[in-house]
A and B are shown apart, each in its own frame.
Chain A
Amino acid sequence: DAGVIQSPRHEVTEMGQEVTLRCKPISGHDYLFWYRQTMMRGLELLIYFNNNVPIDDSGMPEDRFSAKMPNASFSTLKIQPSEPRDSAVYFCASSHPGLAGPTDTQYFGPGTRLTVL
Chain B
Amino acid sequence: GNSVTQMEGPVTLSEEAFLTINCTYTATGYPSLFWYVQYPGEGLQLLLKATKADDKGSNKGFEATYRKETTSFHLEKGSVQVSDSAVYFCALSIPYNNNDMRFGAGTRLTVKP
- Contact residues of A with B, CB < 8 Å? 4, 33, 42-43, 45, 48, 55-56, 91, 93, 99-111
CB of B105 within 8 A of CB of A108, answer no
Q: Enumerate chain A residues within 8 angstroms of B49, measured Cβ to Cβ.
A: 100, 104-105
- Contact residues of B with A, CB < 8 Å? 32, 34, 41-46, 49, 51, 89, 93-96, 98-99, 101, 103-106
CB of B103 within 8 A of CB of A104, answer no
CB of A93 within 8 A of CB of B103, answer no
Cross-interface CB contact of B99 among A4, A42, A103, A108, cutoff 8 Å? A103
| Chain B residue at smallest Cβ distance from A109 | B43
Q: Enumerate chain B residues within 8 angstroms of A99, measured Cβ to Cβ.
A: 32, 51, 95
Q: Enumerate chain A residues within 8 angstroms of B101, measured Cβ to Cβ.
A: 33, 45, 103, 106
CB of A56 within 8 A of CB of B99, answer yes
* Additional A-B contact list (18), CB under 8 Å, known A42-B103, A100-B34, A110-B41: A4-B43, A42-B104, A43-B44, A43-B103, A45-B101, A56-B98, A93-B43, A93-B44, A99-B32, A100-B32, A100-B49, A100-B95, A101-B96, A101-B99, A104-B32, A104-B95, A106-B44, A107-B46
Contact A43-B106, Cβ < 8 Å, known A102-B99, A103-B99: yes
Q: Enumerate chain A residues within 8 angstroms of B34, measured Cβ to Cβ.
A: 100
In the complex, which of the residues A42, A48, A55, A110 has the most CB atoms of chain B within 10 Å of its own CB atom? A42
